[in-house]
Amino acid sequence: MQEEKANIGNLFNRIAPTYDKLNHLLSAGIDKRWRRKAVKMMRRNENVLDVAIGTADFAVELLQQSKAAHVVGIDLSDEMMRLGREKMEWLNLQDKVAFQHVDATNMPFEDECFDAVTCAFGVRNFVDLDKGLLEMRRVLKQDGELVILEFSYPENPLIRFCYDFYFSKILPLVGKWFSKDDTAYKYLNSSVKHFIWGEEMCNHLRQAGFQNVSYKTLTFGIATIYKSVNGDQ
Ligand SMILES: C[S@@+](CC[C@H](N)C(=O)[O-])C[C@H]1O[C@@H](n2cnc3c(N)ncnc32)[C@H](O)[C@@H]1O
């Protein structure tokens, strides 16, 4: 899996044309509600960094809910960002977003230059999670908030069974059929399965220096919103 992570930009370039459609189809639209909820939990901010912006669904939500005046979005996939740019133009939000090809684990930004940092379904793809979290804290202003939305693992055994079946059988099959990519959706399945969640993720956030770390599970624990701040608050 580390090999796929090292080439994550290419993997998402390949599936970019079908990413949005498949995402909304496979989640029956729940992913949109998760993003909406995560953004609702935020304060109003001037300048937000959206890490792993992809096709910009989270950034759209930030701007439409007026939780950000301006968004800088970084990603390693130019194709995902190209589609994100098109989406912003379609919504007439293009002046409020700047897309940059930047690795989240090695950002070119100055210390403490963003009011908030967000990352939706991105952190599990980092080659080095802790390095990414440290970078997010470095570029975040004192008292600035970090909001992460990521897949997690449900507690209920029945939901777990359905979840495992869905991610290991349905997702790779439909993903392959739609995107014609054999490996990408297998990777997405295993990246979700092997990623940490809940208290373990909170501990990584605390280790990176974040404070007031909390989390809220969504839809039986299929996804989780993690919230924390850079400094006491
Ligand atoms: C599942 S998509 C999520 C996109 C978007 N945030 C959303 O809510 O739909 C994950 C994105 O993370 C990007 N990504 C993965 N590792 C990255 C890294 N180290 N730095 C920047 N972007 C990264 C991928 O290229 C991909 O576009």
Residue 186 is assigned to a structural domain of this protein: no
Residues 57, 62: Cα–Cα separation, whole Å: 9
140-185 pLDDT per residue, tens: 999 999 999 999 988 899 998 988 888 888 877 887 777 777 787 7
Which residues form ligand 1's pocket by a CB distance below 6 Å?
8-9, 12, 52-54, 57-58, 74-77, 80, 103-105, 120-122, 125-126
Residue 181 in any domain: the answer is: no
Atom of ligand 1 nearest to the CA of 103: 20
The domain tally of the chain equals 1
* Domain annotation covers residue 179: no
Dump pLDDT digits (tens) for 197-228.
999 999 999 999 999 999 999 999 999 999 99
pTM: 0.95
Specify the pLDDT at position 232. Answer: 56
Can you give the residue range of the structural domain that contains 117?
Answer: 2-155+196-229
Residue 166 lies in a domain: no
Which residue(s) pair with 216 in the sheet? 225
Mean of the per-residue pLDDT values for the chain?
Answer: 92
Tell me whether residue 39 is exposed, middle or buried, using C-beta atoms within 10 angstroms of its C-beta: 0 to 12, 13 to 18, 19 or more: buried
Answer yes or no: is 163 within a domain: no
Cβ contacts of residue 125 below 8 Å, gap of 6+?
5, 8, 52, 191
Q: Would you say how long the chain is, in residues? A: 233
Residue at 161 is within a domain: no
Residue 146 counted as domain residue? yes
pLDDT, position 93 = 98
Q: What is the CATH number of the domain that holds 96?
A: 3.40.50.150
**Per-residue pLDDT, 176:** 78
Task: Assess if residue 183 is contained within a domain.
Answer: no
Nearest protein CA to atom 14 of ligand 1, as residue: 52
